[in-house]
Amino acid sequence: MNISSDPCHSRTLLSHDDIPLACDCRGEGAPLLLFVHGWTCRRSYWLPQLLHFGTSHKVAAPDLPGHGDSAGGGRSRWGVVPFALDIVACAKALTANKVVLIGHSMGGAVALEAARLLGDSVAGVVLVDTFVIDYGGLPPEIVDAIAVPFEADFPSAMAALVAGTATAATPPELRERLVREMSAADPAWALPVWRDLLSWSPTAAFEELRVPIHAINGALIPASARERYAPFVTETIIPGAGHFLQMEDPASFNRVLQSVLKRLH
């Protein structure tokens, strides 16, 4: 069998509050690479990475509660920290002595908070285009200005979000897929998560963590975010890439991530 084409296997993990989570897993070898998707996204957005890195590492990508094939349950609090607790539960269920947390967009925020909770078992954190919004200290009026269009017309606002985070490198069929799948999220949880994310700040995590943190960014990261977090994060830029760079050109992204992982070992 050609291992590079050997599919992932799916298993069910439990969130920190016992919500069943769909999770794709593959491979063996330390450290565990735990991939965290973004807001209203799903684990399949990491499939090219699972197939590639699953030949040399144990890899896993769960659907966070409410996302993809994972139920939302009766959760009363939605946001970055509850999702981080879910990732901690996944890491423990996967029995990894060492883990690298790799988060795209909101998933990077979740990864940073999970790293704080996991402590010495974390070998490093990789942030994939996480700061396409310059989180940290956004005043309430700015949070409102960003969030209100989603509360008024969720599908239209989501289509605008995808368009605004695409570049010439984003294939039209990928844009269509993202709009279709992300717009299908339930606003009952998606909207409170969005507000929580916009209000979140990475400062405490950056100041507390003592593990390597590397950002793989596309062309859209604001200069303000790059300057603010430069003391805490090393960075690789993929020129011209849009927000979903791991899906736009998986081979190029995987080469960059491979190089980053070598530095973490």
Domain boundary assignment for the chain: 3-137+200-264
pLDDT tens-digit readout, 183-217: 999 999 999 999 999 999 999 999 999 999 999 99
* Mean pLDDT of the 232-249 span: 97
Tell me which of 135 and 79 has the higher pLDDT.
Answer: 79
- Per-residue pLDDT for 172 more than 50? yes
Distance CA 7, CA 68 (A): 18
- Per-residue pLDDT for 4 more than 50? no
* Mean pLDDT of the 223-240 span: 95
Where does the pLDDT of residue 6 fall: very low under 50, low under 70, confident under 90, or very high at 90 and above? low
pLDDT tens-digit readout, 13-59: 999 999 999 999 999 999 999 999 999 999 999 999 999 999 999 99
Choose among 5, 22, 6: nearest CA to 14. 22
Q: What pLDDT does 7 receive?
A: 78
- Per-residue pLDDT for 61 more than 70? yes
CATH of span 3-137+200-264: 3.40.50.1820
Structure tokens at 119: 């402590």
Indicate the SS3 state at residue 70: coil
- Residue 244 one-letter amino acid: F
Q: What pLDDT does 9 receive?
A: 86
Mean residue pLDDT across the chain: 94
- Per-residue pLDDT for 169 more than 60? yes
Mean pLDDT lowest among 66-80, 160-174, 201-215: 66-80
Q: What burial letters (b/e) apply to 121-136, b meaning 16+ CB within 10 Å? A: bbbbbbbbbbbbbbbb
Place of tokens 């996480």: 130
Where does the pLDDT of residue 1 fall: very low under 50, low under 70, confident under 90, or very high at 90 and above? very low
* Mean pLDDT of the 253-259 span: 98
pLDDT tens-digit readout, 85-117: 999 999 999 987 899 999 999 999 999 999 999
